[in-house]
Structure 1
Amino acid sequence: MQAARALLIEAGPQAVTLKAVAGRIGRTHANLLHHFGSAAGLQRALAESMADTITATIGAAAMRAREQGGDPGEVVDLTFDAFDKEGAGALASWMILSGNEDALDPILEAIHRLVDDLSQAGHGDRPIHEDTLQLVLLALGDALMGGPMAKALGLPRNSARRIAVRSLAASHAKREPAE
């Protein structure tokens, strides 16, 4: 998975092939074909591995933000970085565009587990679901076309992140108990 992830970050999702990963780890194409069954199987395993790692990191940051007064900046940065710098946005888009949508299931399931865990840890209300949807869609959209869009509108490159932080902060403020 490390070799597949490195290829994803270096060259994009189209570079994550059985042959390329096999070459990276000194195995044969047949070895990986036997293990994953196809390039789609490899991509699904990569998506699952990334989703588990990323949601664990974001979940820990969300818990810290809750305990330390609700600053959502770290959660936003981790989410945006996962979709952009770590390649999750490109991988998800590639899978959708290549007709391999079921490979998104591990990502969606990991996000759902994270939301359930966070809900059980103190926010059983609906806004966490809406906040998650908004944050994921903003991060995905930013990863795919945030730079060109911000430039076209004459906005700083980090504008979508700032919007996400403001939105989460406002949502958290609504949930804070009255003193």
Structure 2
Amino acid sequence: MLATRKRLSPEESRDAALDAARALLVEQGPQAVTLKAVAARIGRTHANLLHHFGSAAGLQRALIERMADFITTTIREAVFRAREGDHNPREVVDLAFDAFGQGGGGALASWMILSGNEDALDPILTAIHDLVEELSQDHSKEERPIQDETLQLVLMALGDALLGGPMARSLGVPRERAREIARAALMHDEQD
């Protein structure tokens, strides 16, 4: 007896493909995020994914857009909670490091850059820019500029995602040391 595939709406099919693409990214790295692999994972055809995304680059761009939206929404909420005193501002550091590390953002960003597809990063750069603009409205002028804090945090989180483990081993420091340094810098800025 043949198993019938569940009919998905176009939005459900697109969401399933993006969920599968993110899972492949995290499990196997950015080189595994192909139309063929994503289609196989969700039981759809290559043609079906071409219909939704147009190309592998379209799939990658949609994945980056989704990840950028998730990352910035999560960080925005954490910043507002921290400002209200509900949470420790260190949560922002953990969210950034997790997004670039476990979340696959660092691997995807580096892959886009190394493959000469820097334009694919526009959604994440735009999302970070828009978040910083929004957050800077309530940022005191006496504090370190939020643009500086963001630049430092993103570069540290990206660097840690790409080289943190080997570098920590090489230097004989705990794996979490870069995160601790980023937390200390943010806490220092909050106390000033």
Tell me, which stretches of 5 or more residues in structure 1 are unaligned?
A: 175-179
The alignment of Structure 1 onto Structure 2 pairs a total of residues equal to: 173
Distance (whole Å) between structure 2 residues aligned to residue 23 and residue 82 of structure 1: 26
Aligned mate of 1:84, from 93, 101, 114: 101
Distance (whole Å) between structure 2 residues aligned to residue 70 and residue 45 of structure 1: 31
- Tell me which moved more, 68-77 or 83-92: 68-77
Q: Deviations over 1:101-133 (max 9, x none)?
A: 10000000111111112112x116461010000
On the 8 A contact 1:70/1:172 being kept in 2, the answer is no
> Which amino acid is 1:47 matched to?
I
Shift in Å, 1:92: 0.3
Distance (whole Å) between structure 2 residues aligned to residue 135 and residue 106 of structure 1: 18
TM-score (norm 2): 0.86
Name segments (4+ residues, structure 1) moved above 3 Å: none
Indicate yes or no: 2:160 matched with 1:142.
yes
Distance (whole Å) between structure 1 residues aligned to residue 42 and residue 86 of structure 2: 45
Instruction: Output the aligned Cα RMSD.
Output: 1.4
What percent of counterpart residues are identical? 71
Inter-CA distance 23–70: structure 2 relative to 1 (3 Å threshold)? closer
Q: 2:145 aligns to what?
A: 127
- Tell me which moved more, 22-31 or 72-81: 22-31
On the 8 A contact 1:70/1:169 being kept in 2, the answer is no
> Which amino acid is 1:160 matched to?
A
Indicate yes or no: 2:27 matched with 1:10.
yes
TM-score (norm 1): 0.92
Shift in Å, 1:149: 0.5
Distance (whole Å) between structure 1 residues aligned to residue 169 and residue 26 of structure 2: 23
> Which amino acid is 1:142 matched to?
D
